[in-house]
Chains A and B, each alone.
Chain A
Amino acid sequence: MGLDAILASLTHLADPFALAIMVLATIVGMIVGALPGLGTVTALAMILPFTFVLEAPQAIGLLLAIYVSSVYGGSIPAILINVPGTPQSAATTFDGYPMARAGHAAEALGWVTVASTFGGIFSMIVLVIAAPQLAAVAVEFGSVETFALIVFSLTTIAWVSAGNPLKGLLAGAFGVVLSTVGVDELSGANRFTFGNFALSAGFHVVPVLIGLFALSEVFMTAGQGVARHGNPIVSTGFKVASFAKWWALKKTVLRSSLIGTFLGVLPGVGATAASLIGYVQARNGSPNKENFGKGEPEGIVASEAANNAVTGGALVPTLSLGIPGDAATAVMLGALVIHGITPGFQLFNRNPELVSFIFVALLVANVMMLIVGAGLAQVFSRVLKLPHALIMGGVVALSLAGSYVIRFSILDVWVAVVAGICGLLLRYANVPLAPIVIGFILGTPLEENLRKSLIVTQMQPLKFLESPIAAGFFALTLIVVCWPLIGKRLAARRKAE
């Protein structure tokens, strides 16, 4: 990253309008993250249509601020009402709420905010170092290797996403099929349009996202009757512990940041697993083991540094390879493409200013999260008192407008409604929704690279294995799919012995 590129990116951020957008996005992200049931992907999906009027750097800054702050925002209700705003903050309830109940909510918010900022900045540094290296490796990738990489990522994300792996794979496959609707660019053939001209352009990612994540949440809330949380809101404030106390936890913060960043880079693992692993590792290595679960600051710091470190980690494969690490980065990838930016080696090679801007914007987003979190902690506790039904009403208004303004087409509103109903039914059937989105976003490059590869190998797919990189990815895919069966066999053998 050259000095010129850094200076250029700072010029973008010196624009008061761009900064104001990021501050606003940080607040919105924290609020949406703090409201149980919404979360990072919903926040990004609902905001995405409104970024179309912005220039690419402003839009990226806005989305990064929402991404980072919504992950942090989930920890606020975890501490104040014992309900994590996002699944990523589930581990924060273990010690955050007991600490708040003991009258130390302000301290708990202080631990959370600073740990989240540290985790975010740590992963940003890793992103700055790792992403260009990975992008340089990716330049060796032809269509066969890229196809194999996408198959590996998609399978891993679907397989490890949540619950039943078969349902994850089904969701991922369905997402790929959805991405093929419309006119095929290579042959001009109409695919699954059923004579409907409006479908020729295919489905847009935003209405699909709005339906699957936002509207399905409204329908889910309707199914639960009156939505209220039972726990009282603990009064709050913001207080940062002394430097000496932080210094005592330096190993935990670093370890959790490393765990979060590493798991963020891996496809499909995500922030929820990172925060839980960070928490367990901290508990196992702590001399105060017995205090965990009773309001131990180390527990809060461990889970929050890990889940926010995932943000930078997940952006490593997204920016360098164009392969998202989770559903949130899949939306970010979709947003970049919508704004005419294609991630990968070419991005680093041809547009270093934009890459530098992304790095600097991520740093600024993390710092803003710290400032806004510290300044508005009291306000967020009030937001939690808002009736959930009113918030869902806002989601309806945003969903209707957001899905329409994408292409000024009423068909997109219908797509969002149908996706919402499907999302509700799929949730009831325990089908994870993230693989649908990732399949949908990766479907186009997957198809493009497969067809190119077939043309190159004269329609002989077995020749794909002649590439050692592709063969390696296919082998990894096989290992990922077979691992649960191997694990079961090994466990049974150990039991027998």
Chain B
Amino acid sequence: MRRAINTDTILGAAGGLVATVLLISSYRQSESVFILPGDAPPFLVPQLFLYFTIALSAVIFLLGLRSGGLEIGPKHWRNIAATIAVIVAAAALMKPIGYLAVAPVAVFATVYLLGFRRRLVNLAVSAGFVALLYGMLTVFAKMPLPKIPGLGV
């Protein structure tokens, strides 16, 4: 699990790539924009900051190449991937099947993945906390959350 990763080169490359893509896109989008005479172009600020981001990313990339890898310590990568998958699934299913159906499962799974193995306590806390939060938001604060189809909650 212990890995040395040159995070600076990855950050520099990723930052530079994202900024370049956005910069190209901004030039394409600006072609179809009509600007009044004397007005500042709408893409001026993003373009300025994207050029700045590219320059900074290049410096970070080059400094990263010179300094080598960075030990980021032991990480449970599978655990991270599984937790992200749980949250992504919750985000994807929240609208179609409702917050009350998705959130307790997501909370239970996250708590389990984080190492808490007392399942009954986990189940009670996950369901109880989500129900309390749902009640507070929808009843007390009048802020509707996605409902379970056909159940009205």
Listed residue (A222, A394, A450) with the most chain B CB atoms within 10 angstroms of its CB: A222
What residues of A have a CB within 8 angstroms of the CB of B30 in the complex? 189
* Residues 189 to 208 of chain A near chain B (Cβ within 8 Å): 189-192, 194
Nearest opposing residue in chain B for A439, CB measure: B49
User: Which of B33, B75, B103, B114 is within 8 Å of A389, CB to CB?
Assistant: B114
Is A243 among interface residues, defined by CB-CB distance under 8 A? no
Nearest opposing residue in chain A for B43, CB measure: A191
Are A226 and B115 interface neighbours, CB within 8 A? yes
B92-120 vs A, Cβ < 8 Å mask (1 yes, 0 no) = 00110001001100111011111110000
User: Which of B10, B72, B88, B99 is within 8 Å of A401, CB to CB?
Assistant: B99
Distance between Cα atoms of A115 and B97 in the complex (Å): 50
What residues of A have a CB within 8 angstroms of the CB of B50 in the complex? 177
Are A396 and B106 interface neighbours, CB within 8 A? yes
- Chain B proximity of A32: nearest CB distance (Å): 15
Are A400 and B25 interface neighbours, CB within 8 A? no
Are A393 and B33 interface neighbours, CB within 8 A? no
What residues of B have a CB within 8 angstroms of the CB of A416 in the complex? 91
* Residues 6 to 43 of chain B near chain A (Cβ within 8 Å): 7-8, 10-11, 15, 19, 22, 25-26, 29-30, 33-35, 38-40, 42-43
Distance between Cα atoms of A405 and B112 in the complex (Å): 26
* Residues 44 to 60 of chain A near chain B (Cβ within 8 Å): 49-50, 52-53
Known contacts A53-B143, A410-B95; is A417 also within 8 Å of B115 by CB?
no
Distance between Cα atoms of A49 and B5 in the complex (Å): 37
Distance between Cα atoms of A431 and B72 in the complex (Å): 13
- Chain A proximity of B137: nearest CB distance (Å): 6
Are A222 and B42 interface neighbours, CB within 8 A? no
Is A104 among interface residues, defined by CB-CB distance under 8 A? no
User: Which of A170, A219, A429 is within 8 Å of B56, CB to CB?
Assistant: A170
Are B60 and A404 interface neighbours, CB within 8 A? no
Are A389 and B94 interface neighbours, CB within 8 A? no
User: Which of B45, B84, B130 is within 8 Å of A421, CB to CB?
Assistant: B84
Distance between Cα atoms of A472 and B39 in the complex (Å): 27
Nearest opposing residue in chain A for B45, CB measure: A447
Q: Number of A residues contacting the other chain (C-beta, 8 Å)? A: 69
Are B111 and A392 interface neighbours, CB within 8 A? yes
Are A189 and B52 interface neighbours, CB within 8 A? no
Are B33 and A417 interface neighbours, CB within 8 A? no
Distance between Cα atoms of A187 and B59 in the complex (Å): 34
What residues of A have a CB within 8 angstroms of the CB of B77 in the complex? 223
What residues of B have a CB within 8 angstroms of the CB of A443 in the complex? 45
Query: Which size bracket describes the interface of B in this complex?
Result: 35 or more
Known contacts A390-B116, A455-B38; is A429 also within 8 Å of B144 by CB?
no
Are B142 and A53 interface neighbours, CB within 8 A? yes
Known contacts A397-B133, A400-B91; is A173 also within 8 Å of B111 by CB?
no
Are A451 and B44 interface neighbours, CB within 8 A? yes
Are B94 and A428 interface neighbours, CB within 8 A? no
A440-458 vs B, Cβ < 8 Å mask (1 yes, 0 no) = 0001001100110011001
Known contacts A167-B11, A177-B46, A404-B146; is A459 also within 8 Å of B99 by CB?
no
Is A486 among interface residues, defined by CB-CB distance under 8 A? no
Distance between Cα atoms of A389 and B109 in the complex (Å): 10
Are B56 and A169 interface neighbours, CB within 8 A? yes
Distance between Cα atoms of A430 and B33 in the complex (Å): 38
Are B99 and A215 interface neighbours, CB within 8 A? no
Distance between Cα atoms of A424 and B84 in the complex (Å): 10
- Chain B proximity of A115: nearest CB distance (Å): 34
A350-365 vs B, Cβ < 8 Å mask (1 yes, 0 no) = 0000000000000000
Are A405 and B94 interface neighbours, CB within 8 A? no
- Chain A proximity of B121: nearest CB distance (Å): 8
Nearest opposing residue in chain B for A52, CB measure: B143
Query: Please, could you name 27 A-B residue pairs with CB atoms under 8 Å apart, sorted by A?
Result: A49-B143, A167-B11, A170-B57, A170-B60, A176-B49, A177-B19, A180-B45, A189-B29, A221-B114, A222-B110, A223-B76, A223-B80, A226-B115, A387-B116, A393-B114, A393-B126, A393-B129, A396-B90, A397-B106, A404-B99, A404-B145, A413-B94, A414-B91, A416-B91, A421-B84, A426-B11, A451-B44
Binding site for B on A (CB under 8 A): 49-50, 52-53, 164, 166-167, 169-170, 173-174, 176-177, 180, 184, 186-187, 189-192, 194, 215, 218-219, 221-227, 387-390, 392-394, 396-398, 400-401, 404-405, 408, 410, 413-414, 416-417, 420-421, 424, 426, 428-431, 443, 446-447, 450-451, 454-455, 458-459
Known: A50-B141, A224-B75, A428-B75. 13 other contacts (CB 8 A): A53-B143, A189-B29, A189-B33, A189-B42, A221-B114, A225-B79, A393-B110, A393-B111, A396-B106, A401-B137, A404-B145, A430-B7, A455-B39
Binding site for A on B (CB under 8 A): 5, 7-8, 10-11, 15, 19, 22, 25-26, 29-30, 33-35, 38-40, 42-46, 49-50, 52-53, 56-57, 59-60, 63, 70, 72, 75-77, 79-80, 82-84, 87-88, 90-91, 94-95, 99, 102-103, 106-108, 110-116, 121-122, 125-126, 129-130, 133-134, 137, 141-146
